[in-house]
Amino acid sequence: MESSIQAIKQRFGIIGNDAKLNRAIEKAIQVAPTDISILVTGESGVGKESIPKIIHQLSHRKHGKYIAVNCGAIPEGTIDSELFGHEKGAFTGAAQTRSGYFEVADGGTIFLDEVGELPLTTQVRLLRVLENGEYIKVGSSKVQKTDVRIVAATNVNMFEAIKKEKFREDLYYRLSTIEINLPALRERKDDIHLLFRKFASDFALKYKMPTVKLSDDAVQLLISYRWNGNIRQLRNVAEQVSVLEKNRAINAQTLKNYLPTGAGQNLPAVVNNTKAESDFSNEREILYKVLFDMKSDLNDLKKLTMELMKSGNTSDVEKDNEGLIQKIYGNDDSEDFEEMIEELPVLTIPEHKEEVSKPIIDTEDKYHFAEEIEEEETLSLQDKELELIKKSLERHNGKRKLAAAELGISERTLYRKIKQYDL
């Protein structure tokens, strides 16, 4: 078997001696003579397209057609027509009958790359082909038969796709009778430098220039890099270095210029999206605590506002409620008290004794207010505030500083009120 694997590598241009890579090739050789459906898995850029070619060439279908279809590159509206064909007039633009890939590849092999991108409606049609070899052209009612070997490939987590209802579970099990996984390049560290040398040699021959060579520190950097794009990314880096560097001896500092910053050393964090019931319980407790704290702060704010409404003297209230003010507004002494409380309800109350609620103390020392207001009088503090500001500005001939001093508020607060009421 070892000699067969090496012969296949040479025939299909596969570079590397990694055990996982050899196992994938071995499985491809073993299943090739059968008609079993194969699912090739692995990250993007690991070379999944080599496996279906091996399977086709070693099978009894090698003289039949081999068609590779990138399912992710075909628009959803036309993929059924591409795969299964259509009848004339089946849809706008269908000027003539067209044969699909399953009809053309009859007796051969179809490679469905990025099969996880297939629409659900197309998945149903594909499942029927896998089960009994039957399909129907778009716009037709005639059932047709086909004899094809299907090899599919994907780089998505199929179980996650099934869980999210983006891929049919029954289709997955029909496709993955045998699953062949190709390892990521970072799992084949001993093959990385070997691949780079092969690519560098190929590009030197292609562009008619000497082959680049890596220093020891550059080789270590090459091996330690993460290679998210796998073999495809390594090949691109080898081509860039071969074309752009005049010096054929490449050190680590030079090589680092061709590797994306911050993408090489850190492994991705594995995040579990599933929250345990205890996590939700803890979140509820935190939320309840926040709500209780907000309620307490609101009660404190109401108390402070009532004190201001009753006294009308901000300096006395600030002195008597220093602890409460610090709790609500913090310890910032950079602004005066009037500026800190300018977002509170209006604090200036007209001195109409009949409009102020009188406190009545009950046995529990709680305050209740009996409203003794004449019916024709308004209860709107906003209207009274506007009236007082107008009178004060008229009395001082529009001088905001004097008006603010009379009203007991800061000049900045008065300016904001003027702008608010469009005075």
CATH number at residue 55: 3.40.50.300
Model confidence at 259, pLDDT cuts 50, 70, 90, reads very high
On whether both 318 and 404 belong to a single domain, the answer is no
With 90 as the cut, is the pLDDT of residue 396 above it? no
| Strand-pair category, 134-136 with 143-145 | antiparallel
On whether both 214 and 97 belong to a single domain, the answer is no
Within-domain flag for 88: yes
On whether both 38 and 137 belong to a single domain, the answer is yes
Residue after which a domain boundary falls, among 310, 344, 378: 344
* Domain coverage including residue 365: 346-423
Smallest CA-to-CA distance from 209 within 252, 251, 254, 239 is with: 239
pLDDT score recorded for residue 316? 61
On whether both 196 and 125 belong to a single domain, the answer is no
pLDDT score recorded for residue 367? 44
pLDDT score recorded for residue 236? 96
The label of the residue with tokens 């241009």 reads 13
pLDDT score recorded for residue 370? 39
Tell me the average pLDDT across 103-108.
96
Tell me the average pLDDT across 259-275.
53
Q: For residues 231 and 45, what is the distance between their CA atoms, to the nearest angstrom?
A: 6
Residue after which a domain boundary falls, among 318, 344, 370: 344
Of 93-107, 130-144, 364-378, least confident by mean pLDDT is 364-378
Model confidence at 294, pLDDT cuts 50, 70, 90, reads confident
pLDDT score recorded for residue 330? 55
With 90 as the cut, is the pLDDT of residue 252 above it? yes
Reduced to 3 DSSP states, what percent helix, strand and coil does the chain have, rounded to the nearest 5?
A: 50, 10, 40
On whether both 215 and 351 belong to a single domain, the answer is no
pLDDT score recorded for residue 360? 44
Q: Percentage of the chain with pLDDT > 70?
A: 76
With 50 as the cut, is the pLDDT of residue 277 above it? no
Residue type, 405: A
On whether both 247 and 141 belong to a single domain, the answer is no
Q: What are phi and psi of 38, to 5 degrees?
A: -120, 140
Model confidence at 280, pLDDT cuts 50, 70, 90, reads low
pLDDT score recorded for residue 323? 63
Q: For residues 246 and 244, what is the distance between their CA atoms, to the nearest angstrom?
A: 6
On whether both 212 and 357 belong to a single domain, the answer is no
pLDDT score recorded for residue 375? 45
Smallest CA-to-CA distance from 223 within 250, 256, 186, 253 is with: 186
pLDDT score recorded for residue 339? 52
Model confidence at 324, pLDDT cuts 50, 70, 90, reads low
Within-domain flag for 116: yes
Give the CATH number for residue 379: 1.10.10.60
Within-domain flag for 268: no
On whether both 65 and 158 belong to a single domain, the answer is yes
On whether both 281 and 298 belong to a single domain, the answer is yes
pLDDT score recorded for residue 321? 63
SS (H, E, C) 252-308: HHHHHCCCCCCCCCCCCCCCCCCCCHHHHHHHHHHHHHHHHHHHHHHHHHHHHHHHH
Within-domain flag for 265: no
Is residue 205 packed enough to be buried (19+ CB in 10 Å), middle (13-18) or exposed (0-12)? exposed
Question: How many domains is the chain built from?
Answer: 4
Mean of all residue pLDDT scores within the chain: 82
**CA separation, residue 232 to residues 43, 238, 288 (Å):** 11, 10, 52
**CA separation, residue 240 to residues 16, 255, 265, 331, 381 (Å):** 22, 10, 21, 59, 74
Are 421 and 391 a contacting pair, CB within 8 Å? no
The three-state secondary structure class of 406 is: helix
On whether both 281 and 378 belong to a single domain, the answer is no
On whether both 130 and 160 belong to a single domain, the answer is yes
Residue after which a domain boundary falls, among 314, 344, 374: 344
Is residue 119 packed enough to be buried (19+ CB in 10 Å), middle (13-18) or exposed (0-12)? middle
With 60 as the cut, is the pLDDT of residue 80 above it? yes
Instruction: Specify which residues 134 forms β-bridges with.
Output: 145
Within-domain flag for 270: no
Model confidence at 399, pLDDT cuts 50, 70, 90, reads confident
Instruction: Specify which residues 144 forms β-bridges with.
Output: 135
Q: Distance between the two ends of the chain, CA-based, in angstroms?
A: 94
With 70 as the cut, is the pLDDT of residue 250 above it? yes
Query: In 156-188, which ranges are continuous DSSP H helix?
Result: 158-163, 169-175
Instruction: Specify which residues 67 forms β-bridges with.
Output: 110
The three-state secondary structure class of 329 is: helix
pLDDT score recorded for residue 199? 96
With 60 as the cut, is the pLDDT of residue 36 above it? yes
Angle at 310 between CA 313 and CA 336, to 5 degrees: 30
Within-domain flag for 261: no
Model confidence at 392, pLDDT cuts 50, 70, 90, reads confident
Please write the tens of the pLDDT for every residue from 334-384.
Answer: 444 455 445 444 444 444 444 444 444 444 444 444 344 444 455 567 777
Within-domain flag for 52: yes
On whether both 10 and 73 belong to a single domain, the answer is yes
Within-domain flag for 124: yes
